Structure 1
Amino acid sequence: MQATIINKLQAIENDHNIKLLFACESGSRGWQFPSPDSDYDVRFIYVRPYNYYLSVQNRKYDCNFPINDELDIYGWDIRKVLQLIGKSNTTPFEWLQSPIMYKQQPGFRDQLWALCQHFFSRRSNIHHYLGIANGALESMGPGNEIGIKKLFYVLRPMLAAKWCLEKNTIAPMTIGPLMELLPSDLQKEVSDLILLKAGSGESFVIRISDRLRSYITQQMFGIDLHSKEMEKDHFKAGRLDDFFIKTIEENDY
């Protein structure tokens, strides 16, 4: 599949007259808890020729493709990515931490990651992650039964929100460092669930312990309570503009 993805990315560059700056795996494979039937969530950042950005016309700043049984792939223009970073959007933060990279221009990821540190909003990131976790938690039954994929759409965002609250930094993308925030007994339970997910379909339904259910509920309530006391962050766009100009100048073709 690695070769298929790289070939697909090369075809996208050629067919759409774009230059890929970075491409990675997102989703459960990037988060490091895939199921056997998990698809490949490929995400990329690209740039177009310099003159593309010098127009009064409305422009397209993303590339979307039909999802097939195995491959879900799309990308965003560097302009859109920088706009999202300016809003402290978690998606670029996660892409740049992916443990699975398919392509990158030398130094690009490190430079953009360094820029992201100036645009971290604890409040915004917590609200984003709690929103995902709460949405997935709604599928849990009264007897603590939940689809195993949905469970990790509760656990990972909840722990990411907890990381943002307690450490006041961008949360890790992968589940490993986040699990260090769990009590030791729950680390064991979640590790066992990751092993179970690795051998089960994503729709497989499990029943979690009362202890884990209680921990999730208490943590989400407490994190939400703390986040409501935080003021909204406001960032200036100067660094983003500088990075944008530098990127389109250096990568003109």
Structure 2
Amino acid sequence: MNTTILNELAAIEAAYNIRILYACESGSRAWGFPSPDSDYDVRFIYTSPYKSYLSINDSKDHLSFPINSELDVYGWDLKKVLQLMYKSNTTPFEWLQSPMIYREEAGFRDELWSLCGAYFSQRSNIHHYLGIAKGALETLTDEGTIKIKSLFYVLRPLLSAKWCLERNGIAPMTIEPLLTLMPDKMKTMTQELIALKANAAEALMVTVNDDLLRHIKTEYNYCSTASSDLPRNQFDAEKLNDCFFKTIMRYDDTRLERKETAAP
């Protein structure tokens, strides 16, 4: 599958005249709880030729493709990624932590990651994760059953919200370090669910243990209440603007073409 993904990324570069600087896995496989039928959620960051950023017309800032049974491929222009970092959006924070990297220009991830801490908003990150957890929890049936995939869309975001609250920092992408925030009994239950999911379809319906459900609701209320009075951060975009300019110039292939054209 790795070869298939690399070939797909190369084809996208050629078709759209872009340069992919970073590509990673950003789904259950990277989070640490895949199912046998989990697809590959490939996410990438790219730049376009510098002239496209100078046009009076708005340029497209993302690339999406039809999802098939194996691949879900999606990419964001670097400018969009930096704009989202400025808003303390959790998605770039997670992509840059992925344990499964398909492609990377040397040093690119480290450079972006070094900026992330300066744009972390405790309030916005907590509320983002609580929103995901709430939406997934609403799929719980009256009989107390839920798709195992959806249950993990409750558990991981809820743990991430708690991490942001109690550690006041960007939450880890993978679930294993997040489990340290759970009481031993809840941690064991979650690990058993991870083992179950590893051998079951993502659509498998499971009954949520009463103790686990009470724990989920208690933690949700705790994070929601504790974060309600947190300040709204305001950030300076200077570092991101500097990163944007330096990066598009560093990886702009047309610069080489201009020099070759100007040579005697």
**Structure 2 length normalisation: TM-score?**
0.94
List alignment gaps of at least 5 residues for structure 2.
254-264
Tell me what 1:46 maps to: 46
The number of equivalent residue pairs is: 253
Q: Which moved more, 1:80-89 or 1:133-142?
A: 133-142
Deviation string 1:8-52 (CA, Å, 9 cap, x unpaired) is: 001111111100100000111110101111111000000111111
Once superposed, which parts of structure 1, at least 4 consecutive aligned residues long, lie more than 3 Å away? Answer: none
Shift of residue 58 of structure 1?
1.2
Q: Distance in 1 between matches of 2:55 and 2:208?
A: 55
1:75 aligns with 2:111: no
Deviation string 1:207-252 (CA, Å, 9 cap, x unpaired) is: 1211110110001001000111111111111111000001011111
Tell me what 2:230 maps to: 230
Q: Distance in 2 between matches of 1:150 and 1:64?
A: 23
Amino acid paired to 2:37: D
Q: Distance in 1 between matches of 2:235 and 2:37?
A: 41
Percent sequence identity over matched residues?
Answer: 56
Amino acid paired to 1:112: L
Question: Bigger radius of gyration, 1 or 2?
Answer: 2
Tell me what 2:260 maps to: none
1:133 aligns with 2:127: no
Amino acid paired to 1:172: P
Q: Distance in 1 between matches of 2:24 and 2:119?
A: 21
Q: Which moved more, 1:184-193 or 1:141-150?
A: 141-150
Tell me what 1:101 maps to: 101
Secondary structure at 1:180's aligned position in 2?
Answer: helix
Tell me what 1:205 maps to: 205
Shift of residue 78 of structure 1?
0.3
Deviation string 1:98-155 (CA, Å, 9 cap, x unpaired) is: 0100000000000100111110000000000000000000111244321100100000
Tell me what 2:9 maps to: 9
Q: Which moved more, 1:137-146 or 1:42-51?
A: 137-146
List alignment gaps of at least 5 residues for structure 1.
none
The within-5 A match list for 1:1-253 is 1-253=1-253
